[in-house]
A and B are shown apart, each in its own frame.
Chain A
Amino acid sequence: MNAGYVGRRLLTTVYTLLVVSFLVFAMTQLLPADAAVTLLGNSATPEALASVRAQLGLDQPAWWQYWHWFSGVLSGDFGQSMRTGQAVAPMMFGALGRSLLLAFLALVLMLVIAIPLGIVSALRRGKAADLIIGIISYVGISLPEFVTATVLALLFADVLGWLPATGYVPLTEDVAGWLAHMILPTLTVSMILVAHVSRMVRSEMVDVMASDYIRAARLKGLSSRRVVLHHALRNAMLPTITIVALDVGYLLGGIIVVEEIFAIPGIGRALIVAVQSRDLPAIQAGVLIIAATYALANFLADLAYAWLDRRIQYA
C-alpha cells in the first residue's frame, strides 16, 4: 500500500469531519431556542440573561463562536450540557461505549448470517433456496426497526416470556444479564442489514461467477469447490467490505431507534433526549461523534480494501 493513497484518504476523512462540524454548528445556530433562556428560565431578568450570554460568548460573531466551540472539541471539551449542567464529553463517550458494544454485536451477527445466505443464494440461483432467501430479504429490508422491535418484544418478552422487554444491565455488573438485554436489540438492528448485505453478496457473487476468469478456471478442469472458494469468493468479498462500511451509517441510525425503544442508555438515546430538550452542546457532540465513528469505519474499510486488492494502487 502506498503512502500517497493513505494520505489522500486521510485528508478526505479530515475534510469530512470539518464539513460535518460546520454543518452541525450552523444548524444548531438556527435553533429558535435561546441558550440563555434555556439555562435561566423565562422569568430571568434581562441583565442576568445578558451576562449569561456574554459568559457563553453568544454576543460574539458566529465564526468566533464556531472557532471557540471547535477548538474546544479538538481538546476533547464539548462544552456543558444545558440540561444537566455537566460536561458533555464524558457523558457522550460513556454512552458511545455502550452503543458500540451493541453495534459490534449486530455487525458480527449480520456478517455471520448474511454472507453465507448471499453465497448460497448466488450458487443456487433460480432454485428454491434462492427464492426463499430472496423473499426473506425483501421482507427484512422493508420492515422498519420500530416495527421489528415491537413485534420481537411482543413475541419474546410477552408471549414467550424468555427475555426482558426493555432495560439495560451494565456488562461489568452482570454479563448474562447484559447479554439477555442485548439479544432483542441486536436482532432488530441486524435484520435490515442482513437483508441488504446478503442481497449485495448475492449480486457480487453472481457477477463474479459469470465472469470470464471463472469460466477460464472451470475450463482448466478445477473442481467446483476450488473454483468457488479459491477463485470466486475473494473477488466477491472485496466489494462487500465497502458495502458493509457504508451500512455502518445505517447501523448507527438504526441504533438510535432501537436504543429508544429498548431503553438502552446509549448515544442514540442521549441524542433523542438532547433533541427533545434542545440541549445544544449535547446535540452537537452526539452528531459529531456518530459522524466521526462512521467516517473512521469507512477510512478503515478503504484501507482494508486497498490492502486486499492490489490493483487499486495502480488505478
Chain B
Amino acid sequence: MPDSLKTLVRSPQGVVGGGLCLLAIVLVVLGPWLAPFEPNALSFTARYQPPGPMHWFGTDQMGRDVLSRVMIGARDTIVMSLLATAIAMVLGAVIGTLSAYLGGWVDEAIMRTMDAIMAIPSLLFALLIVATLGKSDVNAVAAIAIAFTPGMVRVARSVALAVRTQDYVSAAIVRGESTSHIVVREMLPNIVAPVIVEGTVRVAFAVMLFATLSFLGLGAQPPSSEWGLMVSEARSHLFTAPWMMIMPGLCIALVAIGFNLLGDGLRDALNPRSRT
C-alpha cells in the first residue's frame, strides 16, 4: 500500500486529483467557518453584483453572496454524493462477492437481474425512485445508491471471480481454512482495492447526477444552496448575471474532475503492471 501511495503522489493525475479532492473535503468540513458572508443574508443594495474584490463570485438576484452559498452548498453536493456512492459500494461489494462465491445458477440469476437494472439509465432510474418516494435529498441519495449498485456488483464480482481462482485461495482450501477466513482474510483484502478505484470514479458521476436531479427540481429543495439547484435557480437570470450560474457549474466540474483524476491515478498506482 505505501508503495502505491508513493506512485500516486508521483503521477500528475494523482497530485491534481488528490489536491482537488482535498480542497473539496476542506470545503465540506470548514465551509461554514470559511464563508465570508451569511449565505442566506439578503441585501437589496447588492443585487446582481459581478465578481469583484468584495464578492469574489458576485451576488445573486437577492443580493446573497454566491461564494458563501457555494461554500455552504459543498456540504449538500459532496456529502450526499459520497454517501450515495459509499452505500452503492458496500451493497455492490457484498452482492458481487456473494454472487461470485455462490456461482452456478444463483450467480447467473443475480447477474442477469443486475444487467436488467442497468438497462434503465441511472438518471431515469433516479427519476423513477424520486417520483415514487417523493422529492427530497435523502430520496435522491437512495435513488443514486440503488442506480449505482449494479455497476459496483459487476466490478466486485469480476474481481472476486479472478481472486477466487488464485492459488492462495486454493492453498487455503487445501490447508482446511474456514470459509469465513478464506473470504475475509484471503479474498477481501485483494478485492477492496479495485472496488475503491471504481468507487472513486463513481463519486464524480454521483456529484453530477445529484446536481442534475436538483437541477430538475427533484433533489435538494430551496433554500438549500446545493450546486445543481443554484444553477437551476440562476437560469432565469442567465443573461443579466451569468456568474450566478457559471460559478456553481464550475465547482461541480472541478469536483468531478478531481474525483475522476484521483480514481484514474489510484487505478494506475494499484495496478501491479505499472509498478514493474
Contacts and interface: CB of A to CB of B under 8 A. Distances in A.
A290 B261 CA distance: 31
Contact of A257 (B212, B252, B260): B212
B115 interface: yes
Nearest to A294: B119
B112 A16 contact: yes
Contact of B216 (A141, A150, A252, A260): A260
Contacts of B235: 150
Interface residues of A, number: 47
Given A142-B260, A287-B128, A147 B239 contact: no
A138 B127 CA distance: 26
A23 B146 CA distance: 13
A87 B242 CA distance: 42
A147 B249 contact: yes
B72 interface: no
Q: Which of A12, A23, A253 has the most CB of B within 10 A?
A: A253
A28 B127 CA distance: 12
Given A27-B129, A139-B257, A151-B246, A272 B120 contact: no
Contact of A290 (B124, B132, B249, B253): B124
A275 B216 CA distance: 11
A295 B208 CA distance: 24
Contact of B123 (A20, A139, A253, A294): A253
B123 A150 contact: no
B128 A142 contact: no
Contacts of A272: 127, 216
Closest 6 CB pairs of A and B: A253-B121, A19-B116, A142-B256, A253-B123, A147-B249, A16-B116
Interface of B: 112-113, 115-124, 127-134, 204, 208, 211-212, 215-216, 218, 228, 231-232, 235, 238-239, 242, 245-246, 249, 252-254, 256-257, 260-261
Given A12-B115, A30-B133, A143-B252, 12 more contacts: A19-B113, A27-B129, A142-B257, A146-B212, A146-B215, A146-B231, A147-B231, A151-B246, A158-B239, A249-B121, A290-B120, A290-B124
Interface of A: 12, 15-20, 23-24, 27-28, 30-32, 138-139, 141-147, 150-151, 153-154, 158, 249-250, 252-254, 256-257, 260, 271-272, 275, 278, 283, 287, 290-291, 294-295, 298
